[in-house]
Amino acid sequence: MARGDHLRVFRRGYWHHGIDCGDGTVIHYTGELFDRSNAAVRRTPIEQFAKGGKVRVVKSHSDFHIEDIIARAESRLEEMRYSTVSNNCEHFASWCRTGRRESKQVRRAITAATALGVAAVTVAGTLAAVGAMARGRGRA
């Protein structure tokens, strides 16, 4: 791990992301998933970021110099605009390194939810058709 790296650590069902400051600290959104009450961008010791998990580096290209990545992260310290869907820790770390707010986790969740919705509609339609056919047979 090195200064300016995009880090992640697995926590109960999701990946938590932040930016390595190179001094044993990480800038990231604190708080817990779906709990906005104390979610803020903060600089914490890497141990607090990891919470016992294995910290990994997210391989990503950056057009920004390392100092600019850190400056971008620091510019948002104390921000309290957390949103699971549109402004989470992965959006933050991605923006610091690439300038784009992206979250692969959110994109995967939306894709999965859409697929489940299509499947549910298909099943409901099939059940309705089977029910209609059964009712039609009972009358003949």
Active site residues: 16, 28, 89
Structural contact between residues 69 and 62, judged by C-beta atoms closer than 8 angstroms: yes
Cα separation, 75 vs 96, in Å, equals: 10
Give the relative orientation of helices 89-98 and 104-139 as an angle to the nearest 10 degrees: 130
Neighbours of 124 (CB within 10 A): 10
Sequence-distant (6+) residues with CB within 8 A of 55 are 1, 7, 8, 9, 46, 49
Q: Using CA atoms, how far apart are residues 16 and 52, in angstroms rounded to an integer?
A: 12
- Strand 6-11 with 55-58, pairing: antiparallel
